[in-house]
Amino acid sequence: MTIENLSVNKSFGGWHKQYSHQSKTLNCTMRFAIYLPPQISSGSKVPVLYWLSGLTCTDENFMQKAGALRIAAQLGIAIVAPDTSPRGDDVADDEGYDLGKGAGFYVNATQAPWDRHYHMYDYVVNELPQLIKATFPVSNKRAIAGHSMGGHGALTIALRNPERYTSVSAFSPISNPLNCPWGEKAFSAYLGKDRATWREYDASELMRAATQFVPALVEQGASDDFLTEQLKPEALQSAANASGYPLTLNLHEGYDHSYYFISSFIEGHLRFHAEHLNKA
């Protein structure tokens, strides 16, 4: 698979690079960013953390705003940040910020016109990791994390693929999309009106039924404007209690939904993932 390097920046002894490639899964040109820590200079293969961003974001938001690269360099972890949706002139879109471009929701769409391009679940689970493994000096160890819509994506992907990930974490995830406006709008469009098909993309539903566990860490700001209507962390905690899932959910007074929140606690998440990535 051919990829094109778009930019290179040295950071904390490692390299932040941005690439584009033609995605067969999404039927369009996609962009992603990768941070390669300085440990690769010795010929070592490093584990990978996949970061999934939220509504309206691209591959750039996390890399530029989260303050994660210094810690990733110390821990020897590569970070891969894909875009949040398919892009292109022929890709279906919506006037709202919460559907279409920038709002792929990490599902495989089954409804027209979305089903031609919007297969972000398969892209994140299969195509992108295969590309990363074939192109960069990374090991078979991988973890996954995300924010808001990306937190929803990270949790559902890890819950559905526990053999693929050593750990999962999320900031302000959309925890119960079956029962919130963002989820109801996106799932109705992408998946159709049969709500039974939505359950495979709902972290709370999946966690409640889980029998294989991936250690999970979630941070939530108590002053998040979306807390009550959209995010519903209490549903996730209830699901974990029901199944005995190893979830740590931290509620932080005064913090909101922004990257100020993410940057305040990202070091703890990277160290959480490093602990599990480094286990034999």
Catalytic sites, residue numbers? 148, 224, 257
The neighbouring-strand residues paired with 267 are: none
Characterize the bridge pairing of strands 168-171 and 138-147.
parallel
The neighbouring-strand residues paired with 108 are: 119
Largest CA distance in the chain: 53
Choose among 115, 108, 120, 114: nearest CA to 83. 120
What is the DSSP annotation of 210-276?
-SS---EEEEEETT-TTIIIII-HHHHHHHHHHHT--EEEEEETT--SSHHHHHHHHHHHHHHHHHH
H-helix or E-strand spanning residue 70: helix 69-75
Q: How far apart are CA 97 and CA 28, in angstroms?
A: 20
Find how far residue 81's CA is from the centre of its chain: 8
Q: How far apart are CA 52 and CA 67, in angstroms?
A: 15
The residue type at 216: A
Q: How far apart are CA 167 and CA 143, in angstroms?
A: 5
Listed in sequence order, the residues at least 6 apart from 230 whose beta carbon sits closer than 8 Å to its beta carbon are 174, 180, 181, 182
